[in-house]
Amino acid sequence: MATKLDLSRWRVRPHGVGYRRWTILFTGLRLLLRTRFFRLLVAVAWSAGLAIAVLGFVFSQSIASGGWLETLAAHSSARLEAIVIALGGFVSLYPDICVRGIFTLIFWVHSFVGLWFTLIALTVLIPRLITRDRASNALTIYLSRPLTTLDYLLGKLGMILGIILLTWTGPLVFGWLVSMLFATNRDFIVYSIAPLARALAFNGIALVALAAIALGVSALARTARNTTILWIGLWIIAGTMASPPHAPAWIRRASFSHDLGEVRERVLRLDTALSDAATQLPLLNPRFATSLSRAGERSRADDFGGALAGLGVFVIASSLVFTRLLRPE
């Protein structure tokens, strides 16, 4: 009997590899955003972005003649009005030091908040990243699809990137953009670009380090509980051990949160911003100038090279773990 088969279904060309990587990223983030805790975390993280915008707005109003800050101060007391006017004068005379210094301070504070939110988000994400696929052996099924291990890892890396964008970089850029919308002159944009670029550079370094560590930790353990314990051990326990001021250098470098802290101080340059303010601004109160200088010294990175090497070791070791455990054979 002659049979005629309809084989047209095999001539349909599916989407390419970029689509498949995007699927891993998008599906993973969508599942994560279904959890109430994660939605709350993202909302709080964006509130921090809003706080940046509010601070930037308040600061820009300080030099606007007849702005709401000056009006408010005039209604309160003559002394407060004088302070506000003096502050406005400072910013007008020394926009490079004032605008750069204030935005460095804002981004420095936000880097703590953003990093903290990212680490909490990663605690939720890491067990779902690779551990669950390995524990249920679903990885065998995923890799039997037109998907290489590299595609799989790039998709997972995209998930981490998405998390950092949602909890850290997004609010940061959003806050800066909104505050610039209400800026009273160009100086705010010109002199806040450098602190923003440094904040984004620190963001990038943290992204590389945290992505590698998260993938390594997620690939290492085979149960969600062990993965969470391992992550918390690396983050909180190693961080606590590294926090005493007289802890040996190798213990401090063994904590990625300490290493990131050192990198933050060097990249964001809060010490330079404070020292410049103390030495170049004509501050009438010498004690205030001394306090600024001391604060600048305290925020100086003592062991930047060691911290960078520590992060490098973390990245290399983690990459070895996940490439070794996920290689196709």
List residues near another protein by CB under 8 A.
3, 5-7, 9-10, 14-17, 19-20, 23-24, 27, 132-133, 136-138, 140-148, 328-329
Give the shortest CB-15-to-another protein separation in angstroms: 4
Distance CA 133, CA 145 (A): 14
Give the shortest CB-24-to-another protein separation in angstroms: 7
Q: Select 3 or 285, whichever has its Cβ closest to another protein.
A: 3
Question: Residue 224 is encoded by which pair of tokens?
Answer: 């969600």
Q: Select 43 or 329, whichever has its Cβ closest to another protein.
A: 329
Longest dimension (CA), the chain: 104
Give the shortest CB-13-to-another protein separation in angstroms: 8
Give the shortest CB-119-to-another protein separation in angstroms: 24
Q: Select 143 or 194, whichever has its Cβ closest to another protein.
A: 143
Question: Residue 17 is encoded by which pair of tokens?
Answer: 């590899």
Give the shortest CB-158-to-another protein separation in angstroms: 14
Task: For residue 223, give the DSSP letter.
Answer: S
Q: Select 115 or 326, whichever has its Cβ closest to another protein.
A: 326
CA-closest candidate to residue 259, choices 203, 325, 305: 305
What is the Cα Rg of the chain in Å?
25
Q: Select 155 or 239, whichever has its Cβ closest to another protein.
A: 155
Distance CA 108, CA 193 (A): 14
